Structure 1
Amino acid sequence: MPKAKKNSHRKKYDYDKDRKKQKKQFLKKSRPRIEDKNVRHAWDNYKTSNKNLEDMGLAFDPNHSLPIRNPQALFAQTTAAPVVTKPYVLRKLEEEASQPFDDDKSLSRDLIDFVQHMVREYREDYKAMARDEKNYYQDTPKQIQRKVNEYKRCHPKLYAAFIQSLAANANPQSSTQPSSSR
């Protein structure tokens, strides 16, 4: 059986490579990238992930952190509660989680124009909207209804103002029109 050509070559040492730099790059790549700044600041590269999270009061494996409901397993497992040496991380995470979350989802300008056109023309008649010539993507009545509801949900103030402007245009003041008498 023939040998592979690659294996028959003699290994040569490359003097141009910086082995120390290579090792640093490898270690940097192998470490986890931690998104949260509080956890990243408290992370110790010389400890395991499990130990780091345990020191912060977090759980590496939720199956071990939750209490066991089986009473027979309680006697078999007698481990002491882990000592939290970095409680400030847990406090900061709880503070961030308790902050109110603003839903900053927005819709595209094209979708907003499409919905406004459909509501202006047909109000709540989704079947007529589906037959409209501006329904380029041939959306079904249900799909158009979802788009209108999404617009209502994402931009409630704009939708309310839009509906008010439609109502104002639909019902002009009757006092401005001259009355006809016979």
Structure 2
Amino acid sequence: MGLSLDPNVTLPCRPRAEKESDVQEKANVEVAGIENAKSEVVTELENEAAQITRLERHIAPGEVQFLTNLLLKYGNDYKRMVRDKSNYYQHTYKQLKRKCEAFLLSKQGEQAMRQLEQQQM
């Protein structure tokens, strides 16, 4: 491009009124095309979201055994679980409560509790 004494003469600008109208026209044309595309894309995404299944957190076998033993000994008494000597990771009250609740809601927890009920019968 180089240097120029008067950039307004070298690069003429359109009046401001033309710029605004051009922008509005372009926006109207683009919006009309985007609305149709959005509706198709949105419906595809909604269909995908409806099909997604939530992945369940896997609980390690050692932790399953640890939690089942604590639940059998103490039930829902998390304060006594904290003081248990098998709690060698020194989990706190809230940590044990969260782990036990997640364990009982998981498929592994349901299976473990069913097995224990069958053994006791």
TM-score bracket relative to the smaller structure: 0.5 to 0.7
Which residue number in structure 2 is paired with residue 126 of structure 1? 78
Gaps of 5+ in 1: 1-76, 173-182
Which residue number in structure 1 is paired with residue 114 of structure 2? 161
* Matched position secondary structure for 1:148: helix
Q: Which amino acid aligns with 1:139?
A: H
In structure 2, how many angstroms separate the alpha carbons of the residues matched to 1:87 and 1:127?
Answer: 54
Which residue number in structure 2 is paired with residue 101 of structure 1? 53
Which residue number in structure 2 is paired with residue 112 of structure 1? 64
Higher helix share: 2
TM-score between both structures, scaled by the size of structure 2: 0.58
Q: Which amino acid aligns with 1:161?
A: R
Q: Which amino acid aligns with 1:143?
A: Q
Offset from partner CA, 1:87-146 (integer Å, 9 cap, x none): 797243332122142333221112111110101111112111111111011112222111
Gaps of 5+ in 2: 1-22
In structure 1, how many angstroms separate the alpha carbons of the residues matched to 2:90 and 2:56?
Answer: 28
Q: In angstroms, what is the RMSD of aligned CA positions?
A: 3.1
Q: Which amino acid aligns with 2:57?
A: K
Q: Which amino acid aligns with 1:95?
A: N
In structure 1, how many angstroms separate the alpha carbons of the residues matched to 2:95 and 2:56?
Answer: 23
Higher relative contact order (CA 8 A, sep 6+): 2
Percent identity over the alignment is 24
CA contact (8 A) 1:152 1:159 kept: no
